[in-house]
Every structure is written in structure tokens, then in C-alpha cells.
Amino acid sequence: MSLNQIGALSATPIASDSGHTAGGEPATGVVSASAVWRSPPANIRVSVQKQGPEIDRLSPSPPMSPVRGGIRADLSVACQALMEAPTEAVIEHRSGGTGGKEGKGVPVYVMMPLDSVTMTNGVNRRKAMNASLQALKSAGVEGIMMDVWWGLVEREAPGEYNWGGYAELLEMAKKHGLKVQAVMSFHQCGGNVGDSCTIPLPKWVLEEMNNDPDLAYTDQWRRRNNEYLSLGCDTIPCLKGRTPIQCYSDYMRSFRDKFSHLLGDTIVEIQVGMGPAGELRYPSYPEKDGIWRFPGIGAFQCYDKYMLSSLKAAAENYGKPEWGSTGPTDAGEYNNWPEDTNFFKKEGGGWNSEYGDFFLSWYSQMLLDHGERILSSATSIFENQGVKLSVKVAGIHWHYGTRSHAPELTAGYYNTRYRDGYLPIARMLARHGAVFNFTCIEMRDHEQPQDALCAPEKLVQQVTSATQEAQVALAGENALPRYDEYAHEQILKAASLSENDEMCAFTYLRMNPELFQADNWKKFVAFVKKMKEGKDVHKCWEQVEREAEHFVQVSEPLVQEAAVALMH
């Protein structure tokens, strides 16, 4: 397949080694979001708007290198399956992990594109998708992870489920001998990092939210967020006579019944979505429309009438009814920094007062109760089905070095310099035998803007300690696309929790055309091989890459055969 044909299939010009696109036009210097991450030069700065004068801040993420010329023709079809939507890879511990296999090592799962199933409930780019699965299997990948969107399956009417596209995709995975981790995605796709398409909530849910705007999370400025239903209405029969928890439960039950023949064999894990981006958190840092920018502190999301009703009852029960009419009024705005606000400042901040403890305890407990309700239902539904359950928690590492940890507080994690906010989450998950899925595993503290006191390594260490104390399995993922060995080495280091323990899973962001470039693909296959062999195998990267070359070569004829089919 030529570069011209790849570009035509993807509707994306691809630069060749000559510095021109496949169409013969001069290649521009525009950098795509899938470009390789580099360590940030110390002099790269961006301006972040705060209350008061502008202050120069370090860039929130490393700059990206230009897209390299030329994609390997033998990997072209696999590239096409991923050209328009990002994917992730999940790596899981063989012993006690999703696959239930014994022995050391960490098999790899690859997340499918967000739009793998179309709005008409078919498989998107079917031939290319099939070629990708063949290539992944031949490269030693264990399986795939896929979002199972509520907004697609139950889109038209309550209780009417169309599993068509997912049935076909699951059969494709089974045919290729790939395991599947299914994500019950009860959130909107679109508006978060990496979202390449838009899949709203079901039509009938949006109708009810339009009739009653308080079903949406709301900030103090009455700005509504339709990414996910407010947890404040979890037990209110506000959705055509059903509660949100009942809707989530009915959805999971229908999935179980439809695919019972695949559970425990092909389908090995159910990740239960619990908030925006599928994470157990409040939508405190919404990127859509530029509302929030890294590294802002975010904003509390407790101003819909259902949340305020709960707050009022909690304040009365506490003996301070005057605390129940609103959340903190001095917590600043989305893009403030902690010291800009009276509530989050280190000296005399409201977060460290009796009122602050009352509010933050209530706010975080509401999130824990939400997780408990959904997970209790999921545990009952998937009991004795041979699948693991998992829950994703956000890795909010900015301002971690401050006393108040403001961005974590607004997201619902009551974690400060004096309080562990992740142990309660870990204990809740442990009660149900669920996996604690965490992010930002690839990051090193010095790669992040230090004036924002980012500390992803320290955050990962804290979460690791919490999961070990609660005796719950820990999974992880990288927060940003990385293809370099420096990031791979950090992931390998973080995945080794202790001398006798490893992470049970790791999500690799992300499978896309950039990953299929020859050098990146070779590094990725070597990384997968090293993870699968386990931490006790001591080999240099060069040796592992040489051994991994076999997997790259094995995938060539399969992908080339699929390329011919795609061209006809």
C-alpha cells in the first residue's frame, strides 16, 4: 500500500521522507496530537490567566516533535483502523489479573478506538479493524479493551438495547483469540483529553435533563455539565420512572444476558464507569469550551438542587444549618491557583477549618456512596460470571505539593497534606473485590511544571500504599501518549510495587498511527515483551528489541494481506 493510498483512506495527508505529503504537496510544520512526546525544555512557558495579573507558567505538558515521515507499508492497515480515534493498551498481571492465568509477567490489552462502533450500531472500518486485531495478536497482545457506550446501545428509548455493533466486535475478538475488557461507559464521549469523537448520553436522558436541568452537575455560576448525570439524583426516579442507578443496573444486566456465552472466556473484565471520562470523580476540570486549563484548581460541582438538598440535610444533622445553603464561596475559579483563594491558601485556608472539614467530608463521601451504589449492583449482576470488576480513579498530580491539594479536593478526593484521600476509595473497592485503576504512571516529577508543584511520582506512591494497606489490586495507565524508552522504563519501575508484588493491570495510551511507525512499533513490542516476561528477567533494552523483532516480522504478512482486502 502506497503513502498516497494510506492518505486517501484516512483523509489525512501523510508526510513522506522527501518532506512532501502523499499528495505531492509540501509538508507543513503542523504537529499532530499523536506526535512523540519529548522531555520539556526548561524555557518553554505558556501564559495562564489568573485573577489579577497574568503570570507566566511552565507548559502543562512536554512539546511534541514533528510527525516523522513515512509509515511502514506493512503496518498501514492497522494504522487506518486507528487513524481517526485514539486507543489504549491495557497490560494485566497474569497471576490474579483479568485473564486468571498463573505465572509471572504482564500480558497486554489494547483499547480499541472510541468510535469502534458507529452511531448506526455497526463496526467502524471493519476490514481495517480486523487487520488490526490480526496484527495485535501476532505481536503477542493478549486482548483488547473497548468502551461500551450507553449513548449508543440505549440511545433511542429506555429499556431498548441495540448491542449489534458490539456483538460483531466481540465475535471478531473471539475469532482472533483475543480477550476483552468491556467498559460500561455511562458518560458522554467528547470534551476530555483524547476524545476524538462525540457520543452524547441517550436521547431520552438528555430530554429529561432538558426538562430538569438540575439532573446535570452544576457549578456555583450555574454552569451545567451534561457529561454525566449528577450523583445527587442517583436514587431519584427521574428517568422515565427509573432512577439513574436502576438504569445503570438494567444496562449491565442486559449486557450480561446478551453476552453470557462470552463472559469468563472472551470477556474477562468489566470496568464500571462512575463519572466523567469513566472515572470516579466530579467534572471539576472540564476542558470543553476552554472552561478549565491546566493547571487550574477546578471548581466544586455541588450546586444542582439534589446535591444542595443533601448538603442542607448534612448541615442540619451536623448542627450547623447555616452551612447547608451553599458550597464554599471563597474557593476561587477554575483557573485560579491555591494561593489565589482564601479557601485553598496554605496559611489559614478554609480547607483546614471545621467548616472545611465538614464540607469536604460530605462532598467526598457523596462520591464514595455513589461508587458504592453502582459497584454493589455490578457485583450482584456479574457474580459468578468469571469476570473481574474494576473502577478508574483520576491521577490529579498538579498542585500535589501544596498543603491543600486543591484540584484533588474539587474532584472529590479529600486528600491533603494531613489526610489520605485514597485509602477510603481503596477500602470501598476492596469490599467488592474490584481493581483500583489509576493513571499518570509514566510521568516523572521533573518532567512536569514545578511552579505548579506537580508530583505524579509521589502521588502514585501514595496510591500504591493505600491499595496495599486496603489489600486491593492496583492497575495503572499513562496519562499522555509516550513512545520512548524513558517512559517505558518509568512504567516498568512503577509497575513493580514491591519485591513480591506487581500491578495487576496497565493501560497503554495509545494505539494510533504514530505507534505504528517503525521505530515506535519496535519499541512498543519490546516493551510488551519486557512486561510479559516479568520484573525478574534482567535484559537490556537492546537485547529485548532484538528478540522483539521476530514479532514485528511475524505481523507483516497478516497486515499486508488485510491491506489488499481493504483496497478492494
Nearest to 71 by CA among 536, 488, 559: 559
10 Å CB burial of residue 222 (0-12, 13-18, 19+) is exposed
The set of cell numbers assigned to 304 is: 444542582
Length of the chain: 568
Query: Rounded CA gap, 249 and 236, in Å?
Result: 14
The set of cell numbers assigned to 66 is: 514533528
DSSP conformation class of 336: -
Which position among 92, 227, 269, 279 bears the catalytic label?
A: 279
Q: Which residues is 90 bridged to in the sheet? A: 109, 507
Helix (H, G, I), strand (E, B) or coil at 14: coil
CA geometry: angle 123, 124, 127, nearest 5 deg:
85
Which position among 142, 442, 477, 514 bears the catalytic label?
A: 477
Query: Among this protein's residues, is 477 annotated catalytic?
Result: yes
Q: Cα 477 to chain center, whole Å?
A: 8
Helix (H, G, I), strand (E, B) or coil at 189: strand
Query: Rounded CA gap, 299 and 366, in Å?
Result: 16
For helices 518-533 and 541-567, what crossing angle results, to 10°? 120
Give the type of residue at 22: A
- Specify whether the CB–CB gap between 188 and 227 falls below 8 A: yes
- Specify whether the CB–CB gap between 168 and 146 falls below 8 A: no
Query: Rounded CA gap, 334 and 223, in Å?
Result: 12
Could you identify the residue written with the cell 487550574? 296
Query: Among this protein's residues, is 154 annotated catalytic?
Result: no
Main-chain phi, psi angles of 48, to 5 degrees: -115, 125
Helices (H), 319-455: 354-381, 406-411, 423-431
CA geometry: angle 186, 335, 190, nearest 5 deg:
25
10 Å CB burial of residue 529 (0-12, 13-18, 19+) is buried
Residues taking part in catalysis:
279, 477
